[in-house]
Chain A
Amino acid sequence: MTEVTTTEHEVYEAITDTPPCYLREPEEELTPIDYPRYKSSVLRHPKQPLIYLPQNITEITGPQLGSSILTGHFDNDLTRQHAGEPLGERITLTGRVFDTEGKPLRSTLVEIWQANASGRYLHKWDRWPAPLDPNFSGAGRCITDDDGRYSFVTIKPGPYPWGNHYNAWRPAHIHFSLLGRAFAQRLVTQMYFPADPLFPYDPIFQAVPDEAARQRMVSRFAPQESVPDWALAYEWDIYLRGPGATPFEEAL
């Protein structure tokens, strides 16, 4: 197992940056765990009330996987992981990871996975009859820099049908997984593209109760960042929970 090395200076900085507890959003602002329009949620959510867990050391610490899990082979360029180039619309996708106070999270792992340009995933359970692309796996990893910035090159995924209801189609999206700095900051979500006409029909997107919150899952087209004769650019910033307001109430 590769050891992650961190200088004493970095550890000191981290101590001063790391809050003693994390924000608790009101339940009604969170994506619901029970949302019958998304049929497979029906049997896959607890019905008993969640029990309050004061955040203590197990919750405010977390793994920093860092570069130890990168392969070193175009981890963040999904268009160069194979002998040839994938089909589809090449895009750059960058953004910054912040906490809710606007502080950037540096050296944090960002993991993505996605369908190819035809909307097909390289997964044995995906039966949608669209072609696989021998030059596209659809997985990427990146560690944020000192400004909290991540950066990927990929192709724009296609929409695809699914079995939730008659004529159901998922809007094009890229899956994101973030560890943040603490168990309490963990986030798995999906990033969407601007003005997708499928938004009103997608129960997964619509499950988020607040329109402004839904828009926080949508990337923006960034014409000024687009590279002439090569790729269009999209930008998307991610906000993980920041310091909580009441650390003394959390302490045991």
Chain B
Amino acid sequence: MIYGTTPSQTVGPYFAIGLPWPEGPLAVTPDAPGAITITGVVYDGAGEVVHDSLVEIWGADPEGRFADLWGYGGASSVAGFRGFARYAKEDGDGTYELITLKPGAVTLPSGVVLAPHLDVHVFARGMLRHVDTRIYFADEATANAADPILSSVPQERRETLIATATDNGYRFDIHLQGSGETVFFAL
């Protein structure tokens, strides 16, 4: 018997009651060697900042291994690396900030190599279901050019998936709609 899934509903404006925890924005301890800050602003279709947005990331460690305790891929051996971070602030200004390690390339069992990337969930009031995107990195041009997922995205939209370097990490803005709309995936 196959059961129907429980449908999605919006996260609403008040998620900060239940979803933050002290280490939530930290996919790795902030003093870990190589820790980087991923920051950006979430915009709506009118170019307005989405104050009540919630952003989560999930990605591999610099060796391309995941902190996945369910057994896939060989667990990350980096101490204190969780791979998952959530930005869920009560009085948000639409700018998220998360700390992680820069992921390495991931080699699939087939030998296909995926460029360094983070998977991203975006939630907000007004979104009845979350959307999924990916962060790639501007300083990985060679790996990006060979990545099968990026290659499946129309050329003129690929740059919406590329984070740019900052002093302490990368910047990745998210446009839910309109000019420069970020590429979102069905998965």
Interface residue ranges, A against B (CB under 8 Å): 1, 3-4, 6, 11-12, 14-15, 17-18, 23-25, 27, 29-33, 35, 38, 40-48, 50-66, 69, 98, 100-102, 111-114, 121-126, 137-141, 173, 175, 177, 181-184, 186-190, 204-205, 207-208, 212-214, 216-217, 238-242, 251-252
Contacts of A29 in B (CB 8 A): 4
A239 touches B3 (CB 8 A): yes
Q: Known contacts A41-B127, A46-B131, A113-B17; is A63 also within 8 Å of B7 by CB? A: no
Query: Which residues of chain A have C-beta atoms less than 8 A from B68's C-beta?
Result: 61-64
Closest partner residue, chain A, to B187 (CB atom): A53
Q: Is the CB of B132 within 8 A of A31?
A: no
- Bound together, the chains give a CA A113 to CA B11 distance in angstroms of 10
Residues on A with beta carbons closer than 8 Å to the beta carbon of B12: 175, 190
State which of B69, B112, B125, B185 has its C-beta within 8 Å of the C-beta of A52: B185
For A115, give the chain B residue with the smallest CB separation: B14
**Which stretch from B136-144, B148-156, B164-172 is at the chain A interface?**
B148-156
User: Please, could you name 12 A-B residue pairs with CB atoms under 8 Å apart, sorted by A?
Assistant: A18-B71, A33-B128, A43-B178, A45-B131, A57-B66, A64-B70, A98-B3, A123-B13, A175-B12, A186-B130, A190-B12, A213-B7
Interface members, chain B 78-94 (any A CB < 8 Å):
80, 82-84, 90-91
A187 to B8, Cβ gap below 8 A?
yes
Task: Specify which chain A residues have a CB less than 8 angstroms from the CB of B101 in the assembled complex.
Answer: none
Q: Which residues of A contact B16 (CB under 8 A)?
A: 123
Nearest-Cβ distance from residue A105 to partner chain B, whole angstroms: 10
B60 within 8 A of A: yes
A to B contact number (C-beta, < 8 Å): 272
The answer to whether B183 touches A48, judged by C-beta atoms less than 8 angstroms apart, is yes
> Which partner residue on chain A sits nearest B114 by CB separation?
A56
Given A1-B23, A56-B108: A46 in contact with B8 (beta carbons within 8 A): no
Q: Verify A31–B26 contact, CB threshold 8 A.
A: no
**Alpha-carbon gap, A140 to B51, bound state (A):** 24
Main secondary structure of the interface of B (DSSP, over half): loop
CA distance A15 to B72 in the complex (A): 7
The answer to whether A58 and B70 touch across the interface, beta carbons within 8 angstroms, is no
The chain B residues found within 8 Å of chain A, CB to CB, are 1-19, 21, 23-24, 26, 28-29, 44-46, 48, 50, 52, 56, 58-60, 66-73, 80, 82-84, 90-91, 106, 108, 110, 112, 114, 117, 119, 121, 123-132, 134, 148-149, 152-153, 157, 176-178, 181-187
Residues in B neighbouring A251, C-beta threshold 8 A: 108, 110
Tell me, in angstroms, the Cα distance from A63 to B185 when the chains sit together: 20
CA distance A4 to B19 in the complex (A): 19
The residue of chain B having its C-beta at the shortest distance from the C-beta of A203 within the complex is B128
Question: Contact between A100 and B112 (Cβ–Cβ < 8 Å)?
Answer: no
* B124 with A188: CB separation less than 8 A: no
For B5, what are the chain A residues with a Cβ–Cβ distance below 8 Å? 23, 25, 100, 187, 216, 239-241
Chain A residues closer than 8 Å to B45, beta-carbon distance: 42-44, 47
Q: Which residues of B contact A187 (CB under 8 A)?
A: 5-6, 8
Contact B14 A121 (CB under 8 A): yes
Question: Looking across the interface, which residue of chain A has its beta carbon closest to that of B118?
Answer: A58
Q: Nearest A residue to B175 by beta-carbon distance? A: A46
Question: Do A122 and B17 form a contact, CB below 8 Å, given A14-B70, A31-B7, A47-B181?
Answer: yes
- The docked-state distance in angstroms from the alpha carbon of A130 to that of B68 is 44
CB pair B108–A175 under 8 Å, yes or no, is no
Cβ contact within 8 Å between B4 and A123: no
Nearest opposing residue in chain A for B30, CB measure: A1
Chain A residues whose C-beta falls within 8 Å of the C-beta of B117 in the assembled complex:
58
Question: Which residues from B are CB-within-8-Å of A65?
Answer: 82, 84
Which residue of the partner chain, among A31, A41, A55, A57, contacts B126 with CB atoms under 8 Å? A41
Contact of B187 with A33 in the complex, beta carbons under 8 Å: no
Q: Are A189 and B26 in contact (CB under 8 A)?
A: no
A241 to B5, CA, bound (A): 6
- Smallest beta-carbon distance A170→chain B, Å: 9
Assess A1 versus B131: contact at CB under 8 Å? Given A23-B5, A40-B126.
no
Task: Please state if A33 and B70 are interface contacts (CB–CB under 8 Å).
Answer: no
Q: Which of A31, A38, A53 interacts with B185 by CB under 8 Å?
A: A53
